[in-house]
Amino acid sequence: MISRKSVNECIVAGHTIPPNTLLFVNIWSIGRNPKYWENPLEFRPKRFLEPIKTGDDDPITRNFIDVKGQHFEFLPFGSGRRGCPGMVLAMQELLAVVAVMMQCFDFETTKSVDMAERPGLTSPRATDLICRLKLRMDHPLKMLHNPQD
Ligand code: HEM
């Protein structure tokens, strides 16, 4: 959910918004709208590499989906002037953290993965995902000295 305050009166999707109104944009719901996403609840990361059909009256096909706030069907970092200033850092950090964790550990789950969500700011899981990590090498720092291992 991101919030904005209207400065002037405007019309959004046929609704008149008076000035000085606090508005909440439900980006969670937009990202799960079946009008734009095929089987939106299916965990299929590959969908982000496939063309996507979007738009209401005059559909267009995008060859990729941009996360930086230009494609409004997917706004993980918000959009416009108050969009997330940490976006570039977050994108680089995520890649580095996930890559290092996969390089250093094997992950074992005790139960099957339940993707159901509970309410919260960051879409937390309804059932916590408990993992057991197994080190993939004697010592992670050894990798720095012997990268070929
Ligand atoms: C995956 C990681 C992250 C996600 C998904 C995320 C998402 C968001 C979203 C949706 C907003 C609201 C944007 C809007 O209203 O249009 C926001 C705002 C903000 N984020 Fe992030 N963020 C992430 C990481 C970070 C990091 C790493 C930093 C700082 C180092 C950061 C700092 C901020 C700040 C300061 C704001 C408020 C901006 C403002 O109100 O002008 N975020 N973020």
Q: Which residue has the tokens 């305050």?
A: 5
Averaged pLDDT, 53-80: 83
Instruction: Please check the confidence at residue 106 and state whether its pLDDT lies above 90.
Output: yes
The alpha carbon of 74 and the centre of ligand 1 are apart by a number of angstroms equal to 15
3-state class (DSSP) for residue 2: strand
Radius of gyration of the chain, Cα coordinates, nearest whole angstrom = 20
- The per-residue pLDDT for 110 is 82
- Closest-CA residue, ligand 1 atom 10, reads 77
Instruction: Please check the confidence at residue 148 and state whether its pLDDT lies above 70.
Output: no
Instruction: Please check the confidence at residue 141 and state whether its pLDDT lies above 70.
Output: no
- The per-residue pLDDT for 90 is 96
Q: By C-alpha distance, which of 41, 31, 4 is closest to 20?
A: 4
Confidence class of residue 143 from pLDDT cuts 50, 70 and 90?
A: low
Contact present, 54 and 60 (Cβ < 8 Å)? yes
Length of the chain measured in residues: 149
Three-state secondary structure along 91-139?
HHHHHHHHHHHHHHEEEEECCCCCCCECCCCCCCECCCCCEEEEECCCC
Of all atoms in ligand 1, which is nearest to the CA of residue 2?
Answer: 15
The alpha carbon of 128 and the centre of ligand 1 are apart by a number of angstroms equal to 24
Instruction: Please check the confidence at residue 94 and state whether its pLDDT lies above 80.
Output: yes
Q: By C-alpha distance, which of 92, 101, 112, 109 is closest to 136?
A: 101
Is 84 known as a binding-site position?
yes
Instruction: Please check the confidence at residue 140 and state whether its pLDDT lies above 70.
Output: no
Of all atoms in ligand 1, which is nearest to the CA of residue 3?
Answer: 15
Domain ranges of the chain: 1-83, 86-149
Give ∠ CA 62-65-67 in degrees, rounded to 5.
Answer: 150
